DNA sequence: CGGGCACGGATTGTCAACAAAATTGGAGCC
DNA sequence: GGCTCCAATTTTGTTGACAATCCGTGCCCG
């Protein structure tokens, strides 16, 4: 095991932040997992101060719960929070695609089509993890192309929280965010039909939300060292 | 000058955060004002560490710009950011009042009416500062009553940024957020008419945005000690 | 046998000194 | 006079040690 020159500064902080974030996005960290500062620090080869500020940022994003004097754990969203997040996503993403349907250009359309094709290929060859990642990023891409930095930021926030919602309420099986529905959304954008695009994405989000039944206990927390090794 | 027992912990951090936030909301801190850690620390009687984490939070909220190795300054929003924030507010607040028009109860309605009356009284007696504060909080109250924590949070974010937009693009005269239009919005909610309520709040936000002409340079930055003394 | 209490280890929170970087001011030169 | 370069000062960034808090354990007492 390499000693790995202890990184410092913003780089170290981002390292921790992204490690935890990616682990959440890939369902490798379950709600309730305790994040011990010293462990993270040694595991990632950064100072404890960097871990601390990264945890503060994660807490601000509601991805981890910061319990004063008692450390940080991966957030365990309540059913209310789940409803709120999906409702917020319907509101914001509907607006995003409505705007996009009016302003989209040929180049952006091509980018979206290429993205969906990539996504489909991943699912076709059985690569669930890659498919899952691309499915998440499809929604982010819509927000970026819409060109509103404020809404884009909110979308990022909501998207990153979504995996935790599924884990908290559905055990470890990730929700399926199909490439088919994504393609239909892009088709609506190609027709420059704001109403249709909005209806389709709202329907898509409803499909996702319905997959979450509030029945399962959160699965067992993976060990930190296992979860933080990026694939 | 009182020594003032140096506060510590979350309380100290919040003290700094709220001091800067309130100063921004009251137009006592203009974009570009430099926030020197040591000054803040001595002025508010807290440790430099507390100032540091508070500044990080303010940076995360886009209220201050954090320039690595060069300190923090009050954010100076671009015209694009201004457009994005108002567009985002139209999207989110429209959704908020639509939902509220469907779910609102008598008690909440009474609370809104009382709030608008208070606001009107403040303006009537010429108390611009109080009126301004209440006008801002009216929008926040709508989001709270709507009962969606995610949207409420986003609203908080957008509302806190708005004063900086007006200062950055309009000199020091604050935009007028009239109690009349607020009352009309409440009337629409009382009729439980989602479409009307959404139209009225969108129109209200347009009125606000139109008041900002991108013409003026930001006014001179007030001194820190002056700006941070809460009235 | 069960409940409370004190203690030890582990973990988080805080601070002050130190290191690194940038800004300022001025001397020297063109 | 204006420009460049350099040193001194100011300001930010980081670290490591220390203090405070919490949790689990085992003991004592009812």
Residue A151 above 70 pLDDT? yes
B88 → closest Cβ in A10, A68, A151: A151
Find the DSSP H helices in chain A.
10-25, 37-44, 48-60, 79-103, 106-124, 128-146, 149-170, 179-190, 194-210, 224-227
**CA count, 13 A, side-chain hemisphere, A15:** 20
User: Which tokens belong to A24?
Assistant: 């959440």
Q: Residues B15-24: pLDDT tens digits?
A: 999 999 999 9
Residue A43 at interface with chain B, using a CB cutoff of 8 Å: no
- Which of B67, B91, B146, B202 is the best residue to mutate to test the A interface, defined by the most A CB atoms within 10 Å of its own CB? B91
Residue A73 at interface with chain B, using a CB cutoff of 8 Å: no
Q: Is strand D within 7 Å of residue A10 (CB)?
A: yes
Question: Residue B178: which residues within 8 A CB-CB, separation 6 or more?
Answer: B135
Residue A31 above 80 pLDDT? yes
Per CB-CB distance under 8 Å, the chain A contacts of B95 are: 91
Res A219: pLDDT:
45
Residue A217 at interface with chain B, using a CB cutoff of 8 Å: no
Give the chain B residue whose CA is nearest to the CA of A147: B84
- Rounded CA–C1' distance between B29 and C26, in angstroms: 33
Question: Residue A68: which residues within 8 A CB-CB, separation 6 or more?
Answer: B10
Got the DSSP string for B144-187?
HHHT-HHHHHHHHHHHHHHHHHHHHHHTTPPPP--HHHHHHHHH
Res A211: pLDDT:
84
Give the chain B residue whose CA is nearest to the CA of A86: B150
Pairing of strands B64-67, B71-74: antiparallel
Q: Chain D positions under 7 Å from a protein CB?
A: 11-16, 21-23
3 state SS of B220:
coil
For the entire predicted model, the pTM comes to: 0.89
Contact indicator for B67, B73 with CB cutoff of 8 Å? yes
B150 → closest Cβ in A10, A85, A95: A85
Contact indicator for B27, B167 with CB cutoff of 8 Å? yes
pLDDT higher at A169 or B200: B200
Res B211: pLDDT:
84
| DSSP one-letter code for B204 | H
Cα B178 from Cα A14, distance rounded (Å): 43
Q: Residues A88-107: pLDDT tens digits?
A: 999 999 999 999 999 999 99
Residue A60 at interface with chain B, using a CB cutoff of 8 Å: yes
Alpha-carbon distances of A115 from A111, A118, A141, rounded to whole Å? 6, 5, 9
Res A173: pLDDT:
61
Place of tokens 């607040």: B93
- Rounded CA–C1' distance between B37 and D20, in angstroms: 25
Average pLDDT of the residues in A183-198: 97
Residue A221 binned pLDDT confidence (cut-offs 50, 70, 90): very low
Which residues of chain B register pLDDT less than 50?
A: 1-4, 214-221, 231
Q: Note whether B88 contacts A148, CB cutoff 8 Å.
A: yes
Per CB-CB distance under 8 Å, the chain A contacts of B158 are: 150
Res B225: pLDDT:
63
Average pLDDT of the residues in A195-206: 96
Res B220: pLDDT:
44
User: Which tokens belong to B131?
Assistant: 């009126």
The chain-wide mean pLDDT, for chain A, equals 89
Average pLDDT of the residues in A115-141: 93
Q: Chain C positions under 7 Å from a protein CB?
A: 11-16, 21-23
Q: Which residues pair with B52 in a beta bridge?
A: none
- Rounded CA–C1' distance between B34 and C27, in angstroms: 30
Residue A66 at interface with chain B, using a CB cutoff of 8 Å: no
Residue A218 above 50 pLDDT? no
- Rounded CA–C1' distance between B70 and C28, in angstroms: 29
């Amino acid at each position: 095991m390499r000693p790995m020159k202890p990184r410092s500064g913003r780089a170290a902080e981002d390292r921790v932040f992204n490690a935890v974030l990616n682990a959440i996005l890939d369902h490798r960290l379950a709600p309730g997992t305790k994040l011990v500062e010293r462990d993270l620090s040694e595991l990632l080869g950064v100072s404890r101060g960097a871990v601390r500020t990264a945890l503060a940022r994660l807490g601000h994003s509601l991805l981890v719960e910061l319990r004063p004097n008692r450390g940080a754990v991966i957030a365990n969203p309540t059913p209310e929070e789940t409803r709120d997040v999906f409702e917020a996503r319907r509101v914001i993403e509907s607006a995003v695609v409505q705007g996009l349907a009016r302003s989209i250009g040929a180049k952006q359309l091509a980018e979206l089509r290429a993205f969906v094709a990539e996504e489909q290929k991943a699912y076709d060859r059985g690569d669930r993890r890659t498919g899952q990642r691309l499915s998440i990023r499809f929604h982010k891409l819509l927000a970026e192309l819409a060109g509103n930095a404020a809404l884009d930021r909110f979308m990022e926030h909501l998207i990153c929280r979504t995996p935790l919602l599924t884990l908290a309420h559905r055990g470890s099986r990730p929700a399926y965010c199909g490439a088919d529905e994504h393609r239909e959304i892009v088709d609506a954008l190609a027709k420059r039909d704001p109403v249709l695009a909005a209806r389709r994405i709202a329907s898509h989000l409803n499909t996702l939300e319905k997959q979450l039944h509030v029945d399962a206990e959160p699965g067992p927390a993976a060990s930190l060292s296992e979860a933080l090794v990026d694939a």
